[in-house]
Structure 1
Amino acid sequence: MKEKNAKANRMQLMSEGNVSKALLKLGIPMVVSMLVMALYNVVDTYFVSGLGTQQVGAVSVAFPISLIFSGIGLTFGVGAGSYISRLLGKKDRDTADKVASTAMFSSIIIALLVAVVIFAALTPVLSFMGATSTIMPYAKKYAIIFVVSTVFSAANVTAGNLAVSQGASNISLTAMLTGAILNMILDPIFIYALHLGVQGAAIATLISQIVTSAIYVRFFAGGKTFVKVGFSYFKPTSQIYGEIIKIGISTLFLQLLSSLSMSLISNAASNYGDEAVAAIGIVLRIVTLGANVVIGYMKGFQPMAGFNYGAQNYPRLRSAIKSCMQWTTGFCIIWTALIFLLANPILSLFSNDPQVLRIAVPALRANTIMFFTFGLQFTYSTLYLAMGKALVGGILNVCRQGIMFIPAILLLPTMLGLTGIIYSQAVADLLTTIVTIIFAISILKKLSQVENSVSRSN
């Protein structure tokens, strides 16, 4: 009876009651989960920083690999999650079970295949991602174990999104928080007490990801979910894959482009020495913390938007959009102010090398200068995807880290040197904001027209 009530409450949360409170209840656990995901890399960088600049550089150049696997997890997790939310809005639970199971097992299989490919070409992959000759030995030691952990990470990301799609965001919070706390405990033990260096950081991450996976297995196998996951529901059909991929593919492109972008920026920084690679790596991790707060909140917005669009509850959908914009923009403004005021003391936690700090301080401020628009960008890319409008949602999703950023990072350094590297993200953010505003105006007009049409017919 308790399980049935919990399931009913999750559905009621998305369809009834105060929108702002519902979004916070759905979103805050995912905000914490996404922060925890980012903290894995921040914590590794913090503890590894005591080993030296080359070791920090090694962890930095390996980081884009994790984005590839996050992309796999998000492709199936977000794609299936959007579809499942709409199916639940239509009360089609049988199909939702098949979609969830197909997404989960497909994610694991593809992650394993990609890991094999990366292992086969590890040296050229790390070189492309910015590993210099002095960083490479440490990068290899770290990446060999780290890649294994990212396979579990892909499965965890998929499982977390499947939980959120049915309103069960607390399980993602529990799983991710447990893994992160364990990682923080194990890092100093393996790195310093057992004298394993960068390998110790990777081992700590691997163990933490395995524990997180175990929590998700227990959740889905325990019968407490509204949507079931199991081999008996694994029904890979072209129709299911089509619905998953048309939404998830843009998220995959986003993660792949993010990985490519980080690789390009680290590669460009490598021309200015190990200190530049380490500085940019630290900056990207701090920036990811702020970005993951917004992305986590969107994980709560996405099922509510998809559910109410599927249920044709347009007034509630519009209220959710407004509330989402208010909360995310408010946070982005506060985060920007804090970064500008505290850039020096924050960065000093990760390095005491004056050459690293000389590059990192202006780079962190430059990467945050347009962050106040991040909420706008992700509110509307998430909205389009939640409504099943894959083309526009996909364009908006890959604009910031792909369509706009890649040309910026390829062109600006040739004209401005290191300054061009530092300001490339700000330029990409400005251009992405302009594009987002155009599509935001368009979708709001269409929603208003549909809402008026439904009102007249009733």
Structure 2
Amino acid sequence: MNEPDAEVESDRDAMLKKRQHIDLFDTNLSRLILRLAIPSIVGLSINALQQVVNAIFVGALGAQAIAAVSMAFPIVVLLTAVGHGLGVGTASFISRQLGAGEYLEASRGASTALALAAPIGVMLTIALLLNLRGIFVTLGVTPTIMPMALDYAAPLLFGYTLMLLNIVNGFIVRAEGNTRLSMWTMITAFTLNAMLDPIFIFLLDLGVRGAALATLLSQIAAICLYIAYFAKLRGIVLVRIFHISLRADRIKQLALIGAPATMTGIVSAVYLMLMYRAAAPFGGESIAAVGIAMRLLTIGALPIAGFCIGSHAVLGFSWGARDFARVLKAAKFMLSMTVAFSIAYSAAIVIFARPLVRQFSDSDNITEIAVSTCIVFHLFFWLFGIHSVVTTMLQSFGRARLSAVVSLARQGYIFTPAVLLFPAIWGFNGLLVSQAIAELGARMIALFVMFHQFGELRRAPPNEPCPQYGLL
């Protein structure tokens, strides 16, 4: 054993006794999942609230400001997709290695992922900054909105590498069971952002650029917390320079498992581009209405996503330990929780659409369009919990191809042809129909895959690799 490996083994033996945040072997599965998931829910809900707070402050600047920030949202989604994909691949790798007792391999995976994230962030930042105006032209940004869209997007891009590192760090600490650190980091970033928004936007009169700068500074605060955590070796997974390994097989595992998540994020960005481009011919008020509906949709989706992300460690850990009965039990509990929430949220939006929309805009025209948009967007949201659990299961198992089939359905191969066809026939109502068809179709695919996966888990012999599951 070489010197770095020996150092890791000795560190690991000492850490397991004093730094095990949550016992992933806990036999009370529902308690374990809730202890992991609740901090993730709080953290991602805070992230959604941060978007709402930004929208409320920006909304005070007028409809054009809301439209400008909304048109920049697809770029933010695209950038987040890269970090989410790398983070999902890393978390899946780490949780399965921890379940198998391979602590050194888990540390190598985490260190390698962070080493890859930095240059990726820099390259994407440069590429997007050089083509930012052309991207907005492609999105259909009007000349009146263009200056504000550029003012908002450019500062965000300068902080993208930090955002990417924060996303990957969050997945690493959640994979080892420390969802609380991720939660408190997000809360810290939100609090700072909320405090700086009115100062930068109004007091310093920076407008939408002030909102972007506030977000940038909050990302700096978050990365400082993660640096302190890993520098003081407070986690089970050790992030160190000599753990970085550019072996092709390890990078391949991180990339293949995370690829569907990245592809989903990229498709989500294209989905938003198509959505706003389809709304653009109907005026800035229609763009603002779609932006409001998308924000409310995100608010509902993030707690479910947070629950699944927090539970990811249990699924991956149990999979790595080849305890398939435990995987099935965990998945069923996740379904009961996420479906109950998605039904309640869908009903709440449909019933209280008008007062909710009024929180974003005082314009009567925007309100009328946004109310109907919000209702249609949430008609089939009650099935979102099933879709999220199935996607998380497939990611935890390392089933990249099937994960792509499920995750790309709604915003990709179902929505794209619909939105290219129906708005041309039925106008803005065609856009709403496209969204409803995509939602329902994707949920039905997830439901079918779920029953198939449950059947395979029931038939899989314990403590042996499931014959139907592999990396691909």
Common fold by TM > 0.5:
yes
Asked if 1:81 corresponds to 2:81, the answer is no
How far residue 344 of structure 1 moved from its aligned partner, in angstroms, is 0.9
**1:42 corresponds to which letter in structure 2?**
V
Alpha-carbon displacement from aligned partner over 1:110-148 (angstroms, at most 9, x marks no partner): 111111111101111112234212111110111111222
Is residue 41–residue 63 contact of structure 1 (8 Å, CA) maintained in 2?
no
The corresponding residue for 1:344 is 354
Counterpart of 2:361 in 1: which secondary structure?
Answer: coil
Alpha-carbon displacement from aligned partner over 1:412-453 (angstroms, at most 9, x marks no partner): 212221011123222111111221122112111111111479
The corresponding residue for 1:417 is 427
Alpha-carbon displacement from aligned partner over 1:160-194 (angstroms, at most 9, x marks no partner): 00111111111110111100111111101110111
Equivalent of 2:366, from 330, 353, 356?
A: 356
Is residue 40–residue 205 contact of structure 1 (8 Å, CA) maintained in 2?
no
Alpha-carbon displacement from aligned partner over 1:345-364 (angstroms, at most 9, x marks no partner): 11111111112112111101
The corresponding residue for 1:54 is 64
Is residue 325–residue 458 contact of structure 2 (8 Å, CA) maintained in 1?
no
Consecutive unaligned residues of structure 1, counting only runs of 5 or more, are: none
Change over 3 Å in CA distance of 1:335–1:6 after alignment to 2 = farther
Matches within 5 A, 1:100-139: 100-139=110-149
Is residue 179–residue 211 contact of structure 1 (8 Å, CA) maintained in 2?
yes
**1:294 corresponds to which letter in structure 2?**
I
Distance 2:433 2:341 in 1: 22
**1:8 corresponds to which letter in structure 2?**
Q
Count of paired positions: 452
The corresponding residue for 2:454 is 444
Consecutive unaligned residues of structure 2, counting only runs of 5 or more, are: 1-12, 465-472
Is residue 88–residue 395 contact of structure 2 (8 Å, CA) maintained in 1?
no
Structure-2-length-normalised TM-score: 0.93
Matches within 5 A, 1:256-335: 256-335=266-345
**1:180 corresponds to which letter in structure 2?**
F
Is residue 315–residue 451 contact of structure 1 (8 Å, CA) maintained in 2?
no
Percent identity over paired residues: 31
Change over 3 Å in CA distance of 1:129–1:33 after alignment to 2 = farther
**2:229 corresponds to which letter in structure 1?**
F
Is residue 323–residue 462 contact of structure 2 (8 Å, CA) maintained in 1?
no
The corresponding residue for 2:26 is 16
How far residue 9 of structure 1 moved from its aligned partner, in angstroms, is 5.0
How far residue 55 of structure 1 moved from its aligned partner, in angstroms, is 0.6
Distance 1:165 1:279 in 2: 37
Counterpart of 2:159 in 1: which secondary structure?
Answer: helix
Is residue 60–residue 278 contact of structure 1 (8 Å, CA) maintained in 2?
yes
The corresponding residue for 2:166 is 156
The corresponding residue for 2:203 is 193
Is residue 110–residue 239 contact of structure 2 (8 Å, CA) maintained in 1?
yes
Alpha-carbon displacement from aligned partner over 1:320-364 (angstroms, at most 9, x marks no partner): 011000000000011011111211111111111112112111101
How far residue 67 of structure 1 moved from its aligned partner, in angstroms, is 1.3
Equivalent of 1:210, from 195, 202, 220?
A: 220
**1:105 corresponds to which letter in structure 2?**
A
Distance 1:324 1:165 in 2: 17
More helix by share: 1
Counterpart of 2:121 in 1: which secondary structure?
Answer: helix
Is residue 254–residue 397 contact of structure 1 (8 Å, CA) maintained in 2?
yes
Counterpart of 1:15 in 2: which secondary structure?
Answer: coil
Is residue 404–residue 428 contact of structure 1 (8 Å, CA) maintained in 2?
yes
Counterpart of 1:133 in 2: which secondary structure?
Answer: coil
Asked if 1:64 corresponds to 2:74, the answer is yes
Change over 3 Å in CA distance of 1:177–1:452 after alignment to 2 = closer
The corresponding residue for 1:43 is 53
How far residue 149 of structure 1 moved from its aligned partner, in angstroms, is 2.9
Distance 2:239 2:436 in 1: 42
How far residue 2 of structure 1 moved from its aligned partner, in angstroms, is 9.6
Is residue 76–residue 104 contact of structure 1 (8 Å, CA) maintained in 2?
no
Distance 2:38 2:394 in 1: 22
Is residue 129–residue 262 contact of structure 1 (8 Å, CA) maintained in 2?
no
Distance 1:238 1:48 in 2: 46
Distance 1:296 1:451 in 2: 31
Change over 3 Å in CA distance of 1:321–1:73 after alignment to 2 = same
Distance 2:251 2:415 in 1: 30
Is residue 69–residue 151 contact of structure 1 (8 Å, CA) maintained in 2?
no
Structure-1-length-normalised TM-score: 0.96
**1:368 corresponds to which letter in structure 2?**
H
The corresponding residue for 2:8 is none
Distance 1:330 1:168 in 2: 26
Alpha-carbon displacement from aligned partner over 1:183-232 (angstroms, at most 9, x marks no partner): 11110111011111111111111101111111111111111010011222
Distance 1:315 1:9 in 2: 24
Change over 3 Å in CA distance of 1:329–1:6 after alignment to 2 = farther
**2:196 corresponds to which letter in structure 1?**
L
Distance 1:25 1:130 in 2: 44
Distance 1:9 1:67 in 2: 31
How far residue 407 of structure 1 moved from its aligned partner, in angstroms, is 1.9
Distance 1:28 1:360 in 2: 31
